[in-house]
Chains A and B, each alone.
Chain A
Amino acid sequence: MKNPAVKASTFEYITISLSALLLFFIIAPLVSLFMEANPSISVEMIRNQEVINAIEVSLEASILSVTILTVMGVPLAYILARRDFPGKQLVEAFVDLPLVMPHAVAGIMILAAFGSRGLLGGYLQDLGLIIEDNFKGIVIVMAFVSIPLLVDTVKVGFQLIGSSLESVARTLGASEWKAFTTITLPLSFKHILAGALLGWARGLSEVGALLVVAYYPKTVNILILEYLSVYGLKYAATLSAIYALIVLSIFIALRKVASK
């Protein structure tokens, strides 16, 4: 019970001040970014074809990657949530691998496996899949780094539902598919959406592995780095602000949908 007449306890005082400090730590850079951004440059920028292209590449690649990842990640999350098997912990460790890998290392790994001179590159090339400096490479990089966020979030969703609802559905005549689509899927929809959102955001934010694998076609992150080194902070900040505005508004809108 909250009682306004009672003086804040030391506990409250400390927790609230520490939280406020942390929030400030997030908000200050965001506000500074928009203050650094230059309105007239930004008008110029949103007409610039290079910028438009980069935004398109970033959004398209990240949406495609999270779509593919969801299709494959939801089954994996389901298996991890429902089944016990030897080596499960190892599988879970693999899933989390992209989370702990330095981004440049992730890029090198992808290149070493799927690059044209990589281990599987030859076969992929025959299939028409070249990743170096290629849109497909961007999609693969984004999917790779997003795996843990999507799979772990969805897995928790499935675990929360438990298996007894599916069990009852099965005894009532539902096949595995029917039980999944009528019971588990609707109940875990929020978690799947949240996982996809986190995965999408993670993919969008990747730059280290992209520098290694696919500098071209330029994504916004790459362009921002380029602007920073060529034109300086003002230009980079302006592009960053535009990009942040777009991404944040999509993110907030989807979060609204997810919390319904």
Chain B
Amino acid sequence: MTMILLENVSVKLEGFELNIDKLEVGEGEYLAVLGGSGVGKTLLLYTIAGLIKPYAGRVYIGSIDVTDYPPEKRKVSLVPQDYALFPHMTVIDNISYGLRIRGVPRSVAYEKAKYLARLLRIEEILDRKPDTLSGGEKQRVALARALAVDPKVMLLDEPFNALDPELQMEGLKFLKSLRSKLEFTAIHVTHNIMEALFISDKVGYMAKGKLVGVFGREEFLQTKYSEPYVDLVENLYRELK
């Protein structure tokens, strides 16, 4: 079954246009999206989340046309590029926010938050305010906050770019294991090709406001779009020798 479907979606901003002819992500599928800086990856996620209204085209989530739905009706969780943790709340209140806003009692919401914090290894910082956290800690809080509401769709905007390699691997493994349990559909934007290949089922590539294509993981490595990423490693290797 198709979980996310975009058809002829156009978003126009001052000086930038996003045009997605077609994007289809199956239920439970994990799509990584690569592409240069400023090509519209974040904008794509915002459009799916309902934070930006396309001026043309339709957006479907779970076969429902949500183009005119407000974000809160879409059951789509976002881990934004800048984390956007609520600065006036402690970590545990950040994580519980989505549940509390739905009227879930505090004790129940806190239980869930603690459970996720344990999984993400942030249980030590639950009582702290976001401005005291490291970049990696903030990202895991943002991830926990997005997961707490059991979303059908997860939109992750470079969720691991502030993590050290060890935590990055842990985060990726965690997300992967969680996926098999919670069965969410995900679009995961990243600049890291290893991350993309490790976690995803498919890899999408964007350029200049367009989705150039969606490929299988191995297939992607055969395309010219993977070249800059591979070159980077090869050049470095050559440099060191």
Interface residues of A (CB under 8 A from B): 164-165, 167-176, 178, 182-183, 186-187
Contact = CB atoms under 8 A, between A and B. Distances in A.
B47 interface: no
17 contacts: A164-B82, A167-B80, A168-B80, A168-B84, A170-B51, A170-B70, A171-B50, A171-B76, A171-B78, A172-B72, A172-B145, A172-B146, A172-B149, A173-B98, A174-B72, A176-B70, A182-B101
Given A170-B71, A171-B51, 13 more contacts: A164-B80, A169-B86, A169-B97, A169-B101, A170-B49, A171-B76, A172-B97, A172-B101, A173-B98, A173-B102, A174-B72, A182-B101, A187-B87
B110 interface: no
A173 B50 CA distance: 12
* Most interface-central of B50, B72, B76, B88 (chain A CB within 10 A): B72
* Most interface-central of A167, A176, A186 (chain B CB within 10 A): A167
B84 A165 contact: yes
B86 A171 contact: no
B101 A174 contact: yes
Contacts of A169: 86, 97, 101
A171 B49 contact: yes
Interface of B: 46, 49-51, 70-72, 74, 76-78, 80, 82, 84, 86-88, 97-98, 101-102, 145-146, 149, 155
B51 A167 contact: yes
Nearest to A172: B98
A178 B210 CA distance: 34
A260 to B, nearest CB: 13
Nearest to B51: A167
A173 to B, nearest CB: 5
Contact residues of A: prevailing secondary structure: helix
Contacts, number: 63
A173 B87 CA distance: 18
A167 B78 contact: yes
Nearest to A182: B101
A187 B131 CA distance: 14
B72 A173 contact: yes
Instruction: Enumerate the 7 nearest inter-chain pairs by beta-carbon distance, A residue then B residue, closest first.
Output: A172-B98, A170-B71, A164-B84, A171-B78, A168-B84, A167-B51, A174-B101
B214 to A, nearest CB: 23
Contacts of A173: 72, 98, 101-102, 149
A187 B88 contact: yes
Contacts of B145: 168, 172
B72 A167 contact: no
B86 A165 contact: yes
Contacts of A167: 46, 49, 51, 71, 78, 80, 84
A56 B78 CA distance: 53
B150 to A, nearest CB: 11
* Most interface-central of B78, B84, B145 (chain A CB within 10 A): B84
Nearest to A167: B51
